[in-house]
Amino acid sequence: MRENTMEKTTDRTIITVVGKDTVGIIAKVCTYLASNSINVLDISQTIVQDFFNMMMENELFDVFGRKNKATGGYMTELPDYGVPFIFANFNGTSGDVDVITHECGHAFQSYVSCKDPITDHSRYLTMETAEIHSMSMEFFAEPWIELFFGERGDDYRKMHLEDAIDFIPYGTMVDEFQHIVYGNPELTPKERRDAGVPPIYGFHWLQVYGRRRLLAETAPHF
């Protein structure tokens, strides 16, 4: 009688831990795994830490306001060095946190993908795709908001969430506007301007934002 034998298999699982950096995280994770007879084959810290260290060590920020400095805030690439660079004008308001977390999202995407041989993955993103990284980083940073606002951290979180929700009608309006313009290249300038404020969104813009109309020609950033 031949005994049936089964080949021993090994299941492999990737575990991701996200949270504030504190002493003992790795030790606690390893202790928990060991108590459940799970062997650790490889362990590494997130690439985000490498990214921020690289940005800080190479001073790839110019964020403090000064006399005669250009206005605005943005992330750009330094292609000769393969690194991102963040430009801003801090003014001591909560907007500084909005800007730095937002632009760090763009910068992290650039850092990760700049060496990708497919340039469409890094330098030729559509606006809709690019803003996923930046707006996501704003929320990824929220566990550390108390470092900026102390006991008023929850006030900022509430305001930030309200702004994000308020952005939804704006984003949908812009998307509709783009469909109208690109789908109807024969439109006159006046027809394009009129398309920028569809009746369904007109009240929102007039009453909430206090803007007369969305002029595509003068909207540098959607």
Tell me the pLDDT tens digit for each residue of 103-135. Answer: 999 999 888 887 777 766 666 677 778 888 999
10-19, 69-78, 211-220: least confident range = 211-220
Domain residue limits at 206: 165-222
**Residue 216 pLDDT more than 80?**
no
Arithmetic mean of pLDDT over the chain: 77
Q: How far apart are CA 176 and CA 209, in angstroms?
A: 19
Is 93 domain-assigned?
A: no
Mean pLDDT of 207-214: 44
The reported pTM is 0.66
**Residue 186 pLDDT more than 80?**
yes
62-68 long-range contacts, Cβ below 8 Å, gap at least 24? 62/86, 62/87, 62/88, 63/87, 63/88, 63/89, 63/90, 63/96, 63/99, 63/100, 64/89, 64/90, 65/89, 65/90, 65/91
Is 73 domain-assigned?
A: no
**Residue 207 pLDDT more than 60?**
no
Q: How far apart are CA 21 and CA 104, in angstroms?
A: 18
pLDDT of residue 161: 92
Is 204 domain-assigned?
A: yes
Q: Which residues pair with 61 in a beta bridge?
A: 86
The angle formed by the CA atoms of residues 102, 104 and 110, to the nearest 5 degrees, is 115
Is 186 domain-assigned?
A: yes
**Residue 63 pLDDT more than 90?**
yes
Is 124 domain-assigned?
A: no
pLDDT of residue 2: 43
Query: Higher model confidence: residue 166 or residue 108?
Result: 108
**Is 219 exposed, middle or buried, given 0-12, 13-18 or 19+ CB atoms closer than 10 A?**
exposed
Mean pLDDT of 169-192: 81
Q: How far is CA 30 from CA 40, 42, 101, in A?
A: 7, 11, 31
Is 171 domain-assigned?
A: yes
Q: How far is CA 49 from CA 52, 56, 133, 140, 202, in A?
A: 5, 11, 16, 13, 44
Is 192 domain-assigned?
A: yes
Mean pLDDT of 47-62: 83
pLDDT per residue as tens digits for the range 3-46: 444 444 566 676 766 555 566 777 787 888 888 888 777 666 56
pLDDT-derived band at 213 (thresholds 50, 70, 90) equals: very low
pLDDT-derived band at 203 (thresholds 50, 70, 90) equals: very low
Number of domains in the chain: 1
Query: Higher model confidence: residue 205 or residue 78?
Result: 78
Is 92 domain-assigned?
A: no
